Chain A
Amino acid sequence: MDFSLSSEHEMVQKLVRDFARSEVAPTIRDWDRKQEMAPETLPRMAELGLLGVCIPVRYGGQGMDYIALGLVCEELEAVDTTLRVVMSVHMGLNSLGLLQWGTEEQKQRYLTPQARGQRYAGFALTEPGVGSDVARMLSTARREGDEYVINGEKMWISLATKAHHVLWFAKTGGQGVDAHDAISAFILETDRPGVTKGDLHGKLGVRAGSTGWIACQDVRLPTANRLGEEGEGFRIAMACLDNGRYTVAAGAAGLIRASLEASVRYARERQAFGHTIDRYQLIQQKIAVMVRDYEAARLLYLRAGWMKNRGLRNTRETSLAKWYATEASFQAASEAIQVHGAYGYSDEYVVERYLRNARGAMIYEGTSEIHQLMQAGYALGLRQDAPLRCELPAYDAEIWQAEV
């Protein structure tokens, strides 16, 4: 069992770390305050190839593996969650969904420009009245000849006003069809007539990001835009979440690490009762717990990435990694604030932003509660993963890095 990262992985880590630290960190506090995404963020990530990092070269990507995706997310979120959210929706949920379920034509038409960073991509599953209970979604896709007519409203959609393409999930099955077989997935270009969108503000965290809503009013889509078979949408959504969650898990590990680093730095400087506070045991305890949680979270997401590389089904492992890392990152950020004392409560220091950002990750991409039910289900034999019609392709360096 080799726990070391390849020199390729190390170079990827360094590249992303340097980018995030030198180009994003200096101004992130101001954008977070403004509740706006810095305009350079998406173009820069596109320019550097991040938006196609683990997509095969022949589909416009950079041909790196799933572990590289995880490492990228860890480094991005160590500076700010909004960068990782871009990877989660554009790459994890949408692009890898196309890679797994798309026809060759769909991959050429949508995945390639996304991987090149020429188009931004999003994922429209959640609705105002539907979160965990996906099967009960209200959005419909009515078949009319060789078109679908889409109606519905999706909410809490990252990059809602910036994405060119979103995966839109809607009910195609009528009465009598089991809810889980009644949903289909669609590739929706957001500039089609009938599509409206807007930004949402006032979130507790991820404020330098772009979150919004998208509504469809009688939007017509050719059947060629349906992803997968009719009625397969629920399974597709869940498969996409396996990849989205993976990026969240990796990012949350980065957040724990960032909380740890900030706490160590501060504890070495701050004096109280005649000494720097790093020598007091209750501070040391907080640091120790952060170390423990960072290393555990890191190993959990790397294992999931390793399984993805081998083409092994990893729903359980990814869910476990996401649940663990996100809960731990909230705790780590909270304790980091405590280490900083009153300064932790002010946005002069980074840790309050970490806490606000961490809180969202316990809700999206499967609430912590959903993950607990999943884990218990697996452990108690109540839940089993049935094979999928399309599996996420295993990583093969030669195939992925080939030009054609």
Chain B
Amino acid sequence: MPNTVQVYIDHFNGVASGASWETLGAARKVAEALGGGVTALVLGSGVESLAQQAFEFGADEVLLADAPGLKDYRAEAYATVVSRLAKDAAALLMPNSSRTRELAGMVAVDLETGVTPDAVAFEVKDGVIVATRPIYAGKLLIKEICAKARPQIVTLRGRAFPAPAAQSGRKGTLTKVDGAAEAKTEVVEYKASEGGVSLSDAAIIVSGGRGVSNNPKLTPPAGMTDEKQIEVWKAQQGFELVRGLAAALGAAVGASRAAVDAGYVPYAYQVGQTGKVVSPDVYVALGISGAIQHLAGMRTSKTIIAINKDPEAPIFKVARFGIVGDLFELAPALTEALKKKLGK
């Protein structure tokens, strides 16, 4: 249909990404501007339940290509099917993922149209999607359009668009389509990622400083009498709060030099003038004062969040969000609140 907006539902092992529903929500806005409907594309094997979810999140129609050959995502096969389904659509939206960027690219070649990846915002003007996306690692943004070629293919960045509320029991038109497609590759197996999140590459870092070490409410275990030992033990308890928040956010753990020098955590965690220089999207500083040599290691972070009991701490001068208070209460509370909010 010439003014239909299609949405590719990205999933792994039959579980759709949250970003797929956000994309459905965004598609509705585009469809309204174009005067058409929203059709979800579901490819896979044994994935009919995704069709029902797509209806609940706003799809009017679902084109379901359910075939054994589509059990594992293989770019060649998926692209062939999607190109077959999308050739008359006005727009094809996908949530941005390791699968969809290449899928979108290949469909674009099949249909001789453009693909705008990783859009963080858009508007629709005269039937053309004007998508805003980052270039130069986000140092600049561009507005990109595909004026004439169709469909206009855009992949949307996860969590940049609101998720629509699920309308339980909502129904739509389910159309089963041919899922036959050739692919020369064969998926052998899946493996877990190697290792944890490295500090240098992490998009989110939660760091602890000296302030993490002196929780007055802690009682050392019976038999521990050495002052230094108690201090280190208290600090390690404190770092458990740092780790807890990091785990909830899928973040790497960092530390200030003071924490490393005092023996609370190993040197590999150190962020600062000595230690690692990091530039994550989010840097959460717990009990870190923000002295210049620590700032030197993290001040180019996109967003800095600080929790410290001292309102005068220099960290608040570079933080975008902060709470002045007791981090021993606030850190676990924040961990819980974020878990709930992020649906983990």
Residue positions of A touching B, CB distance < 8 A: 29, 269-270, 343, 348-349
- Cα distance A269–B273 in the bound complex, in angstroms: 12
The residue on B at minimum CB distance from A349 is B273
Q: Verify B293–A348 contact, CB threshold 8 A.
A: yes
14 cross-chain CB contacts under 8 A: A29-B274, A269-B292, A269-B295, A269-B296, A269-B299, A270-B292, A343-B292, A343-B293, A348-B257, A348-B273, A348-B274, A348-B293, A349-B273, A349-B293
- Cα distance A343–B272 in the bound complex, in angstroms: 13
Question: Which residues from A are CB-within-8-Å of B299?
Answer: 269
6 nearest CB pairs, A to B: A348-B274, A348-B293, A348-B273, A270-B292, A269-B292, A349-B273
Q: Is the interface of B mostly helix, strand, loop or mixed?
A: helix
Question: Which residues from A are CB-within-8-Å of B274?
Answer: 29, 348
- Cα distance A343–B292 in the bound complex, in angstroms: 9
Q: What 0/1 pattern do residues 293 to 320 of B give for CB contact below 8 A with A?
A: 1011001000000000000000000000
- Cα distance A170–B192 in the bound complex, in angstroms: 67
Question: Which residues from B are CB-within-8-Å of A269?
Answer: 292, 295-296, 299
- Cα distance A29–B299 in the bound complex, in angstroms: 23
- Cα distance A29–B293 in the bound complex, in angstroms: 15
B198 to chain A, nearest CB (A): 15
Chain B 243-289 interface residues, beta-carbon cutoff 8 Å to A: 257, 273-274
- Cα distance A29–B274 in the bound complex, in angstroms: 9
**What would 12 more interface pairs be, CB under 8 Å, given A348-B274, A348-B293?**
A29-B274, A269-B292, A269-B295, A269-B296, A269-B299, A270-B292, A343-B292, A343-B293, A348-B257, A348-B273, A349-B273, A349-B293
Chain B 124-146 interface residues, beta-carbon cutoff 8 Å to A: none
Question: Which residues from B are CB-within-8-Å of A343?
Answer: 292-293
The residue on A at minimum CB distance from B267 is A30
The residue on A at minimum CB distance from B295 is A269
- Cα distance A330–B295 in the bound complex, in angstroms: 28
Question: Which residues from B are CB-within-8-Å of A348?
Answer: 257, 273-274, 293
- Cα distance A73–B286 in the bound complex, in angstroms: 43
- Cα distance A398–B295 in the bound complex, in angstroms: 52
B260 to chain A, nearest CB (A): 12
B275 to chain A, nearest CB (A): 10
B236 to chain A, nearest CB (A): 24
- Cα distance A29–B296 in the bound complex, in angstroms: 17
Question: Which residues from B are CB-within-8-Å of A29?
Answer: 274
Question: Which residues from A are CB-within-8-Å of B292?
Answer: 269-270, 343
Question: Which residues from A are CB-within-8-Å of B273?
Answer: 348-349
- Cα distance A313–B292 in the bound complex, in angstroms: 50
- Cα distance A166–B292 in the bound complex, in angstroms: 47
Chain B 197-230 interface residues, beta-carbon cutoff 8 Å to A: none
- Cα distance A343–B293 in the bound complex, in angstroms: 9
- Cα distance A137–B295 in the bound complex, in angstroms: 54
B290 to chain A, nearest CB (A): 12
The residue on B at minimum CB distance from A347 is B274
- Cα distance A269–B163 in the bound complex, in angstroms: 40
A274 to chain B, nearest CB (A): 12
- Cα distance A29–B295 in the bound complex, in angstroms: 20
- Cα distance A348–B257 in the bound complex, in angstroms: 10
- Cα distance A269–B295 in the bound complex, in angstroms: 9
- Cα distance A269–B296 in the bound complex, in angstroms: 8
The residue on A at minimum CB distance from B273 is A348
The residue on B at minimum CB distance from A340 is B292
The residue on B at minimum CB distance from A265 is B296
Question: Which residues from A are CB-within-8-Å of B257?
Answer: 348
- Cα distance A269–B299 in the bound complex, in angstroms: 10
- Cα distance A348–B273 in the bound complex, in angstroms: 7
- Cα distance A343–B299 in the bound complex, in angstroms: 18
Which residue, of B257, B292, B295, has the highest number of chain A Cβ atoms within 10 A?
B292
B338 to chain A, nearest CB (A): 31
- Cα distance A325–B159 in the bound complex, in angstroms: 55
Question: Which residues from A are CB-within-8-Å of B296?
Answer: 269
Question: Which residues from A are CB-within-8-Å of B293?
Answer: 343, 348-349
- Cα distance A349–B273 in the bound complex, in angstroms: 7
B313 to chain A, nearest CB (A): 14
B315 to chain A, nearest CB (A): 14
The residue on A at minimum CB distance from B299 is A269
B189 to chain A, nearest CB (A): 34
B278 to chain A, nearest CB (A): 14
A390 to chain B, nearest CB (A): 48
Which residue, of A29, A269, A270, has the highest number of chain B Cβ atoms within 10 A?
A269
- Cα distance A343–B274 in the bound complex, in angstroms: 12
- Cα distance A270–B299 in the bound complex, in angstroms: 12
Which residue, of B257, B293, B295, B299, has the highest number of chain A Cβ atoms within 10 A?
B293
The residue on A at minimum CB distance from B272 is A348
- Cα distance A269–B292 in the bound complex, in angstroms: 8
The residue on A at minimum CB distance from B257 is A348
- Cα distance A348–B295 in the bound complex, in angstroms: 13
B219 to chain A, nearest CB (A): 35
A341 to chain B, nearest CB (A): 10
